[in-house]
Chains A and B, each alone.
Chain A
Amino acid sequence: MEKGDILKIKNITKHFGGVKAVDGVSFSVRERQIKALVGPNGAGKTTLFNIVTGLYKADSGEIIFKGKNLFLYKPYKLINLGISRTFQNIQLIDALTVKENIALGLHSKIKSNPVSIILGLNKSHERDVLEKVERVCRFLKIEDYLYKYPNQIPFGIKRLVEIARALVSEPELLLLDEPAAGLNEDETELLLKSIFRIWERGISILLIEHDMEFVTNCSHSIVVMDSGKKIAEGLPSEVMNDYRVIKAYMGE
């Protein structure tokens, strides 16, 4: 493995029936890099994301995270390796407060057993959890919403809560699935700043995005997919001028 790559995606292929959703895609995310995966609708970006996070099984190929083959791990084990994600269609739990939603991100870190739950011996865990949740909320400036429920907060804040939930376990690789979708200009601006601040803490980021302008503003490197294939990869400035990319986005 080339030194400095935190995530290596090798030749991934995935069929749904007769449709090749992802077709032999390879690329890697370097440590402390913000990498963007872009492409028109149906290009296979989210499918690839779901393969990385173990929700789908690839037909062939390999994904290596820090030297470990991810396909050998169950999806719920990935967070322990240091991979965390957000979802395109917000997956906050309506029955839980913002605080509890974010605390869910720490689920795998809490070591306890049924007996200690029933005897109430996990109070100290809960204090730790609360402290970490509050810290990440201050970091993302959403501490005012801690005790609100998801249906009581604006859409832009929901996205940040999703990011907070992914961030609270202190992952090494953060996967963001269309973080800017549905946000207005101010919210996008705020998100952009937040993403940079996360990156400053040494976290590598792989994000899917639709919005080319957003991507060119925030990423170090871009991979472009179309119809399941990788059609370009490189610096934002290079990729934007690539003939195939323009064709995929604008048509002939």
Chain B
Amino acid sequence: MKENTATYVLIALFLLSGFIIKNPFILNMVSIAALAVIVVMGLNLLLGYAGQVSLGHAGFVGLGAYISSILAIRFNINPWLSILIASLLTSVFALIIGYPTLKLKGHYLAMATLAIGEIIYIFANNLVDLTGGHQGLTGMPMLSVGSFVFDSEKKFFFFVWIVVFFFAFISFRIVNSHFGRALKAIHEKELAALSFGVNVHLYKVVIFSLSAFYAAFAGGLYAFYLGFISPSSFDLLKSIDYIVMAFVGGIDSIFGSLIITVVLASLPNIMTFLQDYWPIVNGLLLVIAAMFMPKGLGGFIKWKRAIF
């Protein structure tokens, strides 16, 4: 089975599970995990295909969440439109900031993107009039289509997996096009890409911006679903969580990342006794993955399939 087919089947299975699972706690948990899946898919494009790192992705999720919430609360703009505007604004922001930043490589790029995430976090904390500071922001209207309101965990669960499907679809279309080919070339052999007509810098910036769009869109949905956001949901630790999910899942495997992201995003809620120690568990998982499946779950599956 091709990776895209396998991924669509997996998403369909998650969708169908919504008919079986009755427990709102689990539905809620998996919905939040699905939002993380969208962020990690965007990160996959950047990290796994273009080979550029971002330690500030939670910042983009935050931008999407805050901008869309503020638009809806302050300016009474329709929630859907708010999410769309916020996502577009965030990707334009990423385009502008990515232009100089993506001239950097390796550690320098990691540091610069980390700083971007931190700056967004600091703004969210300190622009108290707009964001409510560390106490957070609330009062977002519920998402609705006509008279149909997404007012239960179940309704949102179905909806968010359909959104995941759309983002997966876009990812696969990109990855399997000549654009995706160029991204892989940039990842491995930048000079070869350049020599065969790939505008390397432009492509990096475009994919950075697109992955910020993924993140911001997930952030917007998160804000309207929970009805409450605060800066701590978008801090550096969250950015690192996303990176860990992408790495353990396999940076260039959308399928592997999907599974691992759902697992890693849900585990802290199931193993509540670990609460404060979760970062340690997360770190351990990364180390174990790096030792036993250095290319993540996706790489592991490809390797197994090559053997049998």
Contacts and interface: CB of A to CB of B under 8 A. Distances in A.
A binds B: yes
Given A55-B191, A87-B191, A107-B178, A165 B184 contact: no
Interface in B153-207: 170, 173-174, 177-179, 181-182, 184-185, 187-189, 191-200
Interface in A89-134: 91-96, 100, 103-110, 112, 114, 117-120, 122, 125-126, 129
Given A104-B181, A118-B170, A120-B173, A93 B188 contact: yes
Contacts of B181: 96, 100, 103-104, 107
B180 to A, nearest CB: 9
B196 A79 contact: yes
A105 B252 CA distance: 22
B46 to A, nearest CB: 15
Specify which of A53, A87, A107, A169 lies most central, judged by the most chain B CB atoms within 10 Å of its CB.
A107
Nearest to A55: B191
Contacts of A103: 178, 181
Contact of A129 (B178, B184, B196): B178
Contacts of B178: 103, 106-107, 110, 112, 122, 125-126, 129
A84 B195 CA distance: 7
Contact of A94 (B182, B188, B200): B188
Contacts of A76: 194-200
Contacts of B200: 76
A206 to B, nearest CB: 14
Interface of B, secondary structure class, is helix
A118 B173 contact: yes
Contact of A104 (B182, B187, B191): B182
A122 to B, nearest CB: 6
A87 B199 CA distance: 19
A158 interface: no
B196 to A, nearest CB: 5
A242 to B, nearest CB: 33
A45 interface: no
Contacts of A85: 195
B173, B189, B196, B200 pick with most chain A CB within 10 angstroms? B196
Interface in A47-80: 53, 55, 74-80
Contacts, number: 87
A125 B178 CA distance: 9
- Name the interface size band of chain B: 20 to 34
A74 B202 CA distance: 13
B260 to A, nearest CB: 20
A75 B184 contact: no
Contacts of A109: 197
Nearest to B174: A117
Given A103-B181, A125-B178, A95 B252 contact: yes
Contacts of A55: 191, 194-195
Nearest to B193: A104
Contacts of A106: 178
A252 B185 CA distance: 45
Contacts of A74: 199
B185 A93 contact: yes
A91 B192 contact: yes
A80 B189 contact: no
Given A76-B194, A107-B197, A117 B184 contact: no
Given A76-B200, A107-B181, A91 B191 contact: yes
Contacts of A93: 184-185, 188-189, 192
Nearest to A79: B197
Contacts of A122: 177-178
A78 B188 CA distance: 21
A241 B63 CA distance: 71
Interface in B268-307: none
Interface string B230-255: 00000000000000000000001000
A117 B255 CA distance: 20
Contacts of A95: 184, 187-188, 252
Contacts of B195: 53, 55, 75-76, 78-79, 84-85, 87
Given A84-B196, A91-B191, A117-B174, 10 more contacts: A55-B194, A76-B200, A85-B195, A91-B192, A92-B192, A93-B189, A107-B197, A108-B197, A108-B198, A125-B178
Interface of B: 170, 173-174, 177-179, 181-182, 184-185, 187-189, 191-200, 252
Interface of A: 53, 55, 74-80, 84-85, 87, 91-96, 100, 103-110, 112, 114, 117-120, 122, 125-126, 129, 165, 169
22 contacts: A75-B194, A75-B195, A76-B200, A79-B195, A84-B196, A91-B191, A92-B189, A93-B184, A93-B185, A93-B189, A93-B192, A94-B188, A104-B193, A107-B178, A107-B196, A107-B197, A107-B198, A117-B174, A117-B179, A119-B173, A120-B173, A169-B197
Which 6 pairs, one residue from A and one from B, show the smallest C-beta to C-beta distance?
A108-B197, A91-B192, A79-B197, A91-B189, A117-B177, A95-B184
